[in-house]
Amino acid sequence: MTFLSPEAAIVGLAVGVPVIALMLAESRARIARAVLKLPAPFARGWPYVAAIVAFAALVSIGAAQPVLERERTRAVRSDAEAIFAFDTTRSMGASSSAGSERRFERAARLGKELRAALPDLRVGIVSLTDRVLAHLFPTANQQSFALTVDKSLGVERPPSALRGDSLGTRLEALAGLPKEGFFAPGSRYRLLVVFTDAESQPFSRAFLADSYRNSRIETVVIRIGSDRERVYENGAPDPRYVPEEGAAQSAESFAVATGGAAFEEDELGKAVEAARRGTGEGGPRAESREVEPTPLASYAFAAAFLPLAFLLWRRNFR
């Protein structure tokens, strides 16, 4: 058990003032009853004090953000790593209808499914716009992967420098990935999975081929979307967005240039097979210790409602 912000527990001291005041008032009342020889009331003040103290303690615990940590050991391959690149440009907000799942949400779902299909690999995450930005370096912790996808990425999170009607995706930005330290130097097998609609600025196949030559990177491109989808704003299609023609060809060209393969979003099974072939079979393994945190603050705050409800009940109905 650890506390993320133990200093925040000081908020419980704020309840000390009314507790002391109540105790002093009870003491004066007890003295007055003794002088006047009055009988003690049936309901004394101690239940109020106990409820206030319990409320203060639970709020203090919740404010300190307790976390229950479970440590698990997992065997992962030490010779293979993967990087998942998620396109976050504006076109990834397109969908078949105003209420249907957008391209990015589908990419995130497919990314989690593919990650689960490769449990013995360390996997990292980068975002792709007109540049490549690292969000998570390769790790065996699948919870870290899911949290990064859910909390750090989204349509235009991060945004492209080319906003509005311009093509924000630049697949050629991935040309620097082999030499920019995204993979550990000792990794023999390297996998790059790109989730994109491939509505990209023009790129040089020769430049990409030269960049990926001798890189030991196996590329898998999963193209999301179709030319029938639109970006919706307030339930209506945004006239500024027009699907880029030739996106499927762009995905295929990028895959060929980098020595990989391209698949449509409904071909996840084939993409999994390609990813497994690209990372080989077996290989040396090492123990990876993972800490799975379980936040408990919400439970403490929920429990604090019990003494609070008691105080309100005594105040209003007794």
The CA distance from 1 to 237, in Å, is: 50
Rg (CA), the chain: 29
pLDDT at 7 over 80: no
Note whether 82 and 122 are within 8 A (CB): yes
| Residues 77/284, Cβ–Cβ less than 8 Å | yes
Q: How far apart are CA 120 and CA 140, in angstroms?
A: 7
Type of residue at 83 = I
Nearest Cα neighbor of 242 from 65, 27, 42, 90 is 90
pLDDT band per the 50, 70, 90 thresholds, residue 22: low
Look at 46 and 273; give whichever has higher pLDDT.
Answer: 273
Q: Say if CB 279 and CB 80 are below 8 A apart.
A: yes
H/E/C letters for each residue in 91-129? HHHCECCCCCCCHHHHHHHHHHHHHHCCCCCEEEEEEEC
Whole-model pTM? 0.74
Whether domain 79-283 has CATH 3.40.640.10: the reply is: no
- For residue 43, what are the contacts with CB-CB under 8 A and spacing of at least 6? 318
> What is the Cα–Cα distance from 50 to 60, expressed in whole angstroms?
15
pLDDT at 271: 97
Bridge partners (DSSP) listed for residue 67? 2, 295
CB atoms within 10 A of CB 69: 10
116-125, 161-170, 181-190, 274-283: least confidently modelled range: 161-170
Q: Between 11 and 268, where is the model more confident?
A: 268
Asked whether the CA dihedral 149, 246, 95, 114 is positive or negative, the reply is negative
pLDDT at 17 over 80: no
pLDDT digits 0-9 by tens, 83-104: 999 999 999 999 999 989 999 9
Rounded percentage of the chain residues whose pLDDT exceeds 70:
85
- Rounded CA separation 55/15 (Å): 9
- The rounded distance, in Å, linking the Cα atoms of 296 and 246 is 50
CA atoms within 13 A on the CB side of 264: 6
The percent of residues above 90 in pLDDT, for the chain, comes to: 53
Read off the tokens for 26: 């009870």
Question: Residue 200 pLDDT > 60, yes or no?
Answer: yes
**How far is it, in rounded angstroms, from Cα 54 to Cα 86?**
47
Closest CA to 64 of 111, 24, 13, 27: 13
Give backbone dihedrals phi and psi of 264, rounded to 5 degrees, phi first.
Answer: -85, 165
Residue 8 in this model has a pLDDT that exceeds 90: no
Q: Per-residue pLDDT tens for 129-188?
A: 999 999 999 999 888 999 999 999 999 999 887 655 457 899 999 999 998 889 998 889
Measured between its terminal Cα atoms, the distance across the chain in Å is: 40
